[in-house]
Amino acid sequence: MLLDGKVAVVTGGGGGIGREVVLAMAAAGAKVVINDIGASVTGAGEHSDAMAVQTKAMVERAGGVAVISTDDVSEWASAQKIIECARDSFGRLDIVVNNAGILRDQIFHKMTPDEWLAVLNVHLNGTFFVSRAAAEGFRDQRSGAFVHMTSSSGLIGNLGQANYSAAKLGIVALSKSIALDMQRFGVRSNCIAPFAWGRMTGSIPTNTPEQQARVAKLQQMGPEKNAPLAVFLASDAASDVTGQIFAVRHNEIFVFSQPRPVRSVHRAEGWTPALIAEHALPALRAHFLPLDRSADVFSWDPI
């Protein structure tokens, strides 16, 4: 019961990874706010609380406690209501899991402003709005844990996901800033890059043998595999873990590096473009990274 007595908000908690995190946190003793607007994968169309209702029933059948919030993370005032729901329902808040997300994949030179903004509004703005709404309460109680869902699409790269990749890498920088700014108040902030088959990955195309092989690997990875790490990071057992980026891939857990200088060159008299081409480039080139994608880096089969 690592989370006994804790209260958690899980955005996008109605299905997929979010549902598994809700169930695991409730099983670990937390009271949970299941936030989900019930939108489609693209965020378009009518909203419904059906998935959140199903998740709440699953929590209660297992003996846990949960309430539902259908407020939208992508709007400042609405995000405030999500946090208010936790405090009104349970009297406190200890954990925020920023999991809500949508996809509007498009090759970059065809991506529209609407496709760009819709994804950033949910992922990046939503993560900021919900986290910021919780931050002052965390500061006052001198404790709190943020767990943000990032993606290898942002950490490494993927085709046709400029909006999603930018938002997910932005979440990493936001998490690090939260960790730095709020460490003195006992507040922690970490990221998880999950690998899992679900609604969000169900839209991956399968038109080529390469795509089919990638999807086959993902289908082996259930969303429940990500929940134990989320519970751990939210618990007091992780009281000294902050500002980190983790990934879960089936039964593997990774910690990611963060950008640091890897090679430098110096010239006492300074540089000209010609000298850069002649001397700096050859010295630096060996440390360039290739234009690889997530599937290129994680090329082995999950076990």
* Residues with catalytic roles: 164
For residue 257, which phi and psi values (nearest 5 degrees)? -70, 165
Q: Of 205, 191, 301, give the one whose Cα is nearest residue 247.
A: 191
Do residues 66 and 23 touch, judged by C-beta distance below 8 A?
no
- Coil, helix or strand at residue 263: coil
Q: Residue written as tokens 């000294």?
A: 240
Q: Which residues contact 278 (CB under 8 A, 6 or more apart)?
A: none
Q: For the stretch 153-183, what's the b/e string if a residue is b when 16 or more beta carbons lie within 10 angstroms of its beta carbon?
A: bbbbbbebbbbbbbbbbbbbebbbebbeebe
Secondary structure of residue 295 in the 3-state scheme: helix
Positive or negative, the Cα torsion across 222, 228, 233, 238?
negative
Q: Give yes or no for a contact between 97 and 47, defined as CB atoms under 8 angstroms apart.
A: no
Residue type (1 letter), 151:
S
Distances from the Cα of 223 to the Cαs of 76, 158, 195, 220, 226, in angstroms? 29, 20, 8, 10, 6
